[in-house]
Amino acid sequence: MRFPSNFLWGASLSSYQCEGANLNSDWYFWEKEKGLELCGLACDHYHHYDQDFRLARSLNLKALRISIEWSRICPYPEVFSQKELQHYSSVIDSLLRHNLKPVVTLHHFTNPLWFSDREGWLCSKNIDSFLEYLRKTVETLKDRVDTWIIFNEPLVYAYQGFITGSWPPGERSFPKAKKVLANILEAYCRGYEEIKQIYGRQPVSVSLAKHLRVFEAVPGLGFPLNSIAVGLRDRIFNWQALDYLAKRKKLDFIGLNYYCREYVQAGGLFGCESNYQPKAGRKNHLGWDIYPQGFLDILVELGKYKLPVMITENGTAETEDRFYQEYLLSHLKSLAQAQAKGVDVAGYFWWSLLDNFEWDKGFKPRFGLFEVDYKTLTRISRPFAQTYAKICQANRLEL
């Protein structure tokens, strides 16, 4: 299976998870408060970005998705750090020097602490602060960046931070989650217009990275009720926000983060996750149910929006190389099959270029094309990365 000649082969990173020392971020305080593993210096990507981009290029990647740390640009209310804007400007220059197209995310889960202290995304007045950061950043980088992801996974953010309470600010309230989501969607729509205005006639593509998951009802006695929960979860978690944004014509493409299938059982407002183990299939190191068929199904379903799709994240955490290989190849096969069915897929970004800080799970889960030795900060290429490098170079998948 040949991929289009302009297909973007890439990998993803997010600032907080790999940069290290993001001392003004809400996560930095959350880890301490909750006694979690501390992110600390992480991969110290903040000082190693040039070397990391060289590694990405050594795998024949054509693009890299990175994110900007809002709490660096804006460490205190109304304070914009020229030094940090300059830092990200140098990061973009480095990507371009390595022939990597930058795809840039503005919000990847973390907020400046001062923003959270003022009720963060719960308060609609705070949207202006985010837009100010967006404007400054986009204006600084606009001559070298033409693809923006305003938010990473708003539903995951609202779910973890405001329903399960396992991420900051640790709330457990459905009405609050709803409010947060509404404010984020408003910030997205206004941000979309701002970016279009800043670029004027210059072309620019804007989207979000939307996590989509295959939900399936746990079989057995509870099946009928479990199926209702699946319907609700699928509607609310997967499609509602996308429908909303597509209807308002605020998506230039769809950024898709796809990882796994989730078994659901009835309970709570829209069901809950179950650790049911189907006979076929396999769970990864984090217990996620690996389901490449779901990737194909979701891609085909996304076809309804008639927009190009960019796979902004796909990947797995494993303890053996053969499982990474298997995951990569089976998911690329699904991608190729979706393309053969007419779905317009513009690119594929493996999560992640490097092992990094996996939020409340700490450093144990290993998602990287490159393994990171956190003591020495050495990066070591995993064998499956070579498989990926060959596919990127050949621009072809042997099915």
**Contact residues: ligand FCB, CB under 6 A:** 14, 17, 152-153, 156, 211, 257, 313, 351, 358-359, 367
In 295-382, where do the E strands start and end? 309-314, 345-351, 370-373, 378-381
Residue 279 burial (CB < 10 Å; 0-12/13-18/19+)? exposed
Which CB atom, from 211 or from 250, has the smaller least distance to ligand FCB?
A: 211
Q: How far is the CB of 158 from ligand FCB (least distance, A)?
A: 13
Q: How far is the CB of 361 from ligand FCB (least distance, A)?
A: 8
**159-165 — which CB contacts under 8 Å span 24+ positions?**
159/237
What is the dihedral sign for C-alpha 247, 250, 253, 259?
negative
Q: How far is the CB of 111 from ligand FCB (least distance, A)?
A: 15
Q: How far is the CB of 313 from ligand FCB (least distance, A)?
A: 6
The CA-atom distances, in angstroms, between 30 and each of 26, 112, 357, 360 are: 6, 12, 14, 10
Which CB atom, from 3 or from 359, has the smaller least distance to ligand FCB?
A: 359
Q: How far is the CB of 97 from ligand FCB (least distance, A)?
A: 26
Which CB atom, from 337 or from 352, has the smaller least distance to ligand FCB?
A: 352
Question: 42: Cβ–Cβ under 8 A, 6 or more apart, which residues?
Answer: 16, 17, 18, 19, 20, 356, 357
Which CB atom, from 24 or from 67, has the smaller least distance to ligand FCB?
A: 67
Phi (first) and psi of residue 241, to 5 degrees:
-65, -40
Which CB atom, from 108 or from 226, has the smaller least distance to ligand FCB?
A: 108
61 contacts 392 by C-beta, under 8 angstroms? yes
Q: Which amino acid makes up residue 382?
A: R
Q: How far is the CB of 355 from ligand FCB (least distance, A)?
A: 11
Helix, strand or coil, per DSSP, at residue 386: helix
By residue count, the chain amounts to 399
DSSP β-bridge partners for residue 207: 149
Q: How far is the CB of 67 from ligand FCB (least distance, A)?
A: 9
Which CB atom, from 121 or from 359, has the smaller least distance to ligand FCB?
A: 359
Which CB atom, from 66 or from 156, has the smaller least distance to ligand FCB?
A: 156
